Amino acid sequence: MTQKKVAVTGGIGSGKSLALRYIAQMGYPVYSCDEIYKTIIQSKEYIDKVSDFFPDVVVDGNISRELLAKYVFNNLDNRRKINMIAHPLIMQDLYAKMYSCESVLVFAEVPLLFEGNFENDFDHILYIYRDKAKRIESIIDRDGISNIDAEQRIAAQFNPDSIDGQKRLKEANAYIIENNGTLDALYQKILNYIETMKQ
């Protein structure tokens, strides 16, 4: 049976990590761009490239994620510069891991799938959708930031509710799971999705 590579994505605070944890508990291989980034951010190649643009975010030879976030979330040009450095390194590592996996179904958490135009690199897209108010509440609770900062982070990402966002979701034939209810409801929807993938 041909391997199916599934990208799991959605906005910050939508519940992607919960979805991926459940999928992993079901025994499927799961990879995370965020986890790969934690390794990439410590590499000399990445640190050197970032320091060329933002020398003050490098502290004692390492990148301060807090200082870098201040540049990225409030400035589109800065965000593009960082993405141009990070995305190729992250995706190269991710693709290598996925292609070496022997499972028929393999999943990857790709937070910036549409921002990076990576949707065509996967066989299927699973999009976790959540109402903005619930996302803001989740981000504030998780990261301890202000309402304004949470809204800025959401605004910096792909907007599934915009005309362009809806168009791209449709073009990518994304399977959308709404995560506005209970955890059990989310898990059941994921289970239903995986059953369709196995057919």
Per DSSP, the residues of 21-42 read HHHHHTT--EEEHHHHHHHHTT
Closest by CA to 86, choosing from 43, 31, 149, is 43
Percent of the chain's residues with pLDDT above 70: 99
Residue written as token pair 């190729």? 88
Cα 16 from Cα 127, distance rounded (Å): 8
With a cut of 80, say whether residue 18 has pLDDT above it: yes
Give the model's confidence band at 1: pLDDT under 50 very low, under 70 low, under 90 confident, else very high. Answer: low
Q: Percent of the chain beyond pLDDT 90?
A: 54
Which amino acid is it at 44?
K
Task: Record the pTM.
Answer: 0.87
pLDDT (tens digit per residue) in 84-108 = 899 999 999 999 999 898 888 999 9
Residue 175 has pLDDT above 90, yes or no: yes
pLDDT tens-place string over residues 121-140: 999 999 999 999 999 899 99
Helix (H, G, I), strand (E, B) or coil at 73: helix
